[in-house]
Amino acid sequence: MADGMKDTVTGDTISALQAVHLPGDGKRVLQLVFETFGETKGRRWLAKENRVFDGKAPEDMLHTDDGAGAVEKLLHRIAHGLGA
């Protein structure tokens, strides 16, 4: 997005989040992804394989509380400018 602005999370995305079958931590972290990146970039980030997760996509990590915790930890690092 221009000027570093991220798109907002739409009501449709929030409804979709509520329908996703993830443990509680997974849903919370999924919301954090969209708050961090915005909806469009967040969806791309979730689907892209990540070396931090041994080549798994972050969305694949959200199905367990441990995996969701690992994604959350990475998001906090990104938010603080530490990256992977």
Residue, of 61 and 5, whose pLDDT is higher: 61
The pLDDT, as a whole number, for residue 3 is: 42
Segment 4-40, tens digit of pLDDT: 545 555 556 555 555 566 767 888 898 899 999 998 9
Segment 37-51, tens digit of pLDDT: 998 999 999 999 999
DSSP annotation of 57: -
Q: CA-CA distance, 43 to 56, in Å (whole number)?
A: 15
The pLDDT, as a whole number, for residue 84 is: 60
The count of other CB atoms within 10 Å of the CB of residue 29 is 24
pTM: 0.74
Whether the CB-CB separation of 65 and 25 falls below 8 Å is answered with yes
